[in-house]
Structure 1
Amino acid sequence: MLGPRNDGIRVLIAHPQALVRAALTALMADTTDLIAADEAASYADLLTKLGPVAPQAALVSLQLLEPPPFRKIAELLQRRPEIRIVALSQGEPVDDQVAAVRGGASAIVGQRTPGPKLCEAIRSVSRGLRWYDPAVERYMDERRTTTLPAGDLTSLTPRERQIAALVARGEPYRRIASELQISGHTVKNHVRHIFDKLDVNSRVELALLAAESQN
């Protein structure tokens, strides 16, 4: 049974690969203050175990968080606001990692990060600190100086705002086309115009801007 100790930081490990979960569990077993409380192989499994396991931190692979990841992380925090999310990156684009931060992740750690540093990241977030990869920090600094104010969304036409909202929800173009009863080609044209008007370069950036406008 995982986590026989009860005197440390309880961590729920969520990763699609059993070998990685086992390695992370073994890593924490070698510490005196981190407890691998349980494992989850899918996002649904993670949601199910949040309550019974009552972890203080969740080490979650970004592979389990369908783009844009901030929606899934926000959902986790709605269920357990006190939990600290440590997102485990396996080479995902930087804007996806930043999206996880915007969703509420307290740390972004690469899967190849040395074990001691990974453990230190978990300890840091449990103390209320943040732990981000330098590339993510640089990206966020750039976004702070270039992100458009939320009012700029008013430059979109009603149809463009409708499509932008669906993109922000993470809907694929095919589903957007079906819901609005237009062609996929038309959806792509609208999205291109939206990108040009808002000066964004990806669906994730558009989703982030839409989310910021609601805050």
Structure 2
Amino acid sequence: MAGVNRPLRVLVVDDDALVRAGLSMMLDGVHGIRVVGEAADGDEVPAAADAHRPDVVLMDLRMPRVDGITATGRLRRRANPPEVIVLTTFDADENILRALRAGASGFLLKDTPPAQIVQAVRQVAAGDPILSPRITRRLMERAAGQAGAYERARAALAVLSPREGEVVVAVARGRSNAEIAAELRMTVATVKAHVSHVLDKLDLDNRTQIALLAHDAGLV
């Protein structure tokens, strides 16, 4: 996570040089954000992450040697991993769901307006996931329809306290920590503590995975 006195550090990963150049040029022109490196394939990501210490990685899904799903999983298993936003051209691509389960903090379509990409980078760096309503609805419906998903999700969530369950539902609805605090009449610090406990109890990596589990369980 970026400190108060330095910009958010972003690593751009895409096999298309024009896409990398466009994203880098756009983000480098924004106050408080700095593109610290680029990678052309998923197999270059570990070395790039070590060299540049990014806070956020913009990750393409389809690359020739190591795809974005595999690269995301490898990153998220590291100590103090960066947040990952996956990028895709196809809003119905089932690999997006796999990328979220691998630990990505969210996803964007490559035709997303620049201002929304900037907001997405800031949002995931602050600990809030990017859940595009149009795409997420389709993914959640597919996830909920998988055989046994409902029962498994319900069983997993049964370990949570009632208050933690309320936080899970709010997270699944895309609420920020501040919004959850207002809705449930608690402090932001308490919300963060509940989210942390939920992640630990359910052995999950991020809020996006909480949202997926809640949708599997039919809570939203």
TM-score by length of 1: 0.61
- Between Structure 1 and Structure 2, the one with more helix by share is 1
Task: Provide the residue aligned with 2:114 in structure 1.
Answer: 115
Task: Provide the residue aligned with 2:12 in structure 1.
Answer: 13
| TM-aligned CA deviation for residue 91 of structure 1 | 1.9
Q: CA RMSD in A?
A: 2.7
Runs of 4+ more than 6 Å apart = 65-68
Task: Provide the residue aligned with 2:86 in structure 1.
Answer: 87
Structure 1 residues not aligned, in runs of 5+? 1-5, 153-215
Query: 1:40-59 to 2 correspondence within 5 Å?
Result: 40-59=39-58
Query: 1:1-215 to 2 correspondence within 5 Å?
Result: 7-64=6-63, 70-91=69-90, 93-149=92-148
Calculate percent identity across the aligned residue pairs.
24
The 3-state SS of whatever aligns with 2:77 is helix
CA distance in 2, matches of 1:92, 1:65: 20
CA distance in 1, matches of 2:80, 2:64: 18
Residues 68, 8 of structure 1: alpha-carbon distance in 2 compared, 3 angstrom cutoff: closer
The 3-state SS of whatever aligns with 1:112 is coil
Asked whether the equivalents of residues 91 and 109 of structure 2 are also in contact (C-alpha less than 8 Å), the reply is: no
CA distance in 2, matches of 1:42, 1:79: 18
| TM-aligned CA deviation for residue 117 of structure 1 | 0.3
Asked whether the equivalents of residues 92 and 138 of structure 2 are also in contact (C-alpha less than 8 Å), the reply is: no
Asked whether the equivalents of residues 97 and 136 of structure 1 are also in contact (C-alpha less than 8 Å), the reply is: no
Asked whether the equivalents of residues 69 and 98 of structure 2 are also in contact (C-alpha less than 8 Å), the reply is: yes
The 3-state SS of whatever aligns with 1:121 is helix
Asked whether the equivalents of residues 43 and 71 of structure 2 are also in contact (C-alpha less than 8 Å), the reply is: no
Over alpha carbons, which structure has the higher Rg?
1
Asked whether the equivalents of residues 87 and 107 of structure 1 are also in contact (C-alpha less than 8 Å), the reply is: yes
The 3-state SS of whatever aligns with 2:11 is strand
Q: Count residues in correspondence.
A: 148
Residues 14, 67 of structure 1: alpha-carbon distance in 2 compared, 3 angstrom cutoff: closer
| TM-aligned CA deviation for residue 25 of structure 1 | 1.1
The 3-state SS of whatever aligns with 1:11 is strand
CA distance in 2, matches of 1:45, 1:67: 9
| TM-aligned CA deviation for residue 90 of structure 1 | 1.6
Q: Which amino acid aligns with 2:109?
A: G
CA distance in 2, matches of 1:149, 1:105: 23
| TM-aligned CA deviation for residue 52 of structure 1 | 1.5
| TM-aligned CA deviation for residue 42 of structure 1 | 1.2
Q: 1:71-103 deviations in whole A, cap 9, x for unaligned?
A: 432112112543100101122643111111111
Q: Which amino acid aligns with 2:46?
A: L
Structure 2 residues not aligned, in runs of 5+? 152-220
